[in-house]
Amino acid sequence: MSGDNPLKMILTAEAGLDGSWEFTGPVAVVIGRDRMAAIHPRQEEAPGLSRHHALIELGNRRAVLRDLSSSTGTWLNGHLVGRRKKDEPAPLSGVPARGDGVELTDGDVINLGDTWFRVSISNLLTPEKTSFRRGTH
């Protein structure tokens, strides 16, 4: 994907929440129970979802998923991306994500506790200037 055209990402909830969320890069998207998170449940209870569960960094060239030391872990297409150790205390707000993260691609499925999202990623094409030719009669 070209670095000059920003990426557009749509996260569609498939379980645990209702709705879809659209983002255009560059942007950092926090998912969790905290009301300040970009994506959060309406109710207080969200089984397996931490206050600050996961972070998606959407740039102009790629989207990267990182776990924010959640207790149940962040999963991508059935593979564990990360989680905190059982004896490790919950992190304070504002603690940066650990590790390099995992790059997202179109069609990926993110699992955060009982909450599932389908990822749609596309490149926003810059409209090209159209030149018109006049026909001769």
Tens digit of each residue's pLDDT (9 = 90 or more) over 84-99: 777 766 665 555 555 6
Rounded Cα–Cα distance for residues 62 and 76 (Å): 16
Contacts 24+ apart (CB under 8 A), 78-86: 78/109, 78/111, 81/54
C-alpha angle 12-83-68 in degrees, rounded to nearest 5: 65
Tens digit of each residue's pLDDT (9 = 90 or more) over 20-53: 999 998 999 999 988 899 999 876 667 788 889 9
pLDDT of residue 83: 83
18: which 2 tokens?
A: 């209702």
Q: What pTM was computed for the model?
A: 0.79
Helix extents (H) in 2-135: none
Tens digit of each residue's pLDDT (9 = 90 or more) over 52-84: 999 999 998 899 999 998 888 999 999 999 987
The single-letter DSSP state of residue 38 is: S
Q: Which of 66, 56, 68, 69 is nearest to 101 (CA)?
A: 66
Whether the upstream peptide bond of residue 96 has omega within 30° of 0, thus cis, is no
Sequence-separated (6 or more) residues with CB below 8 Å from residue 105: 119, 121
pLDDT of residue 58: 94
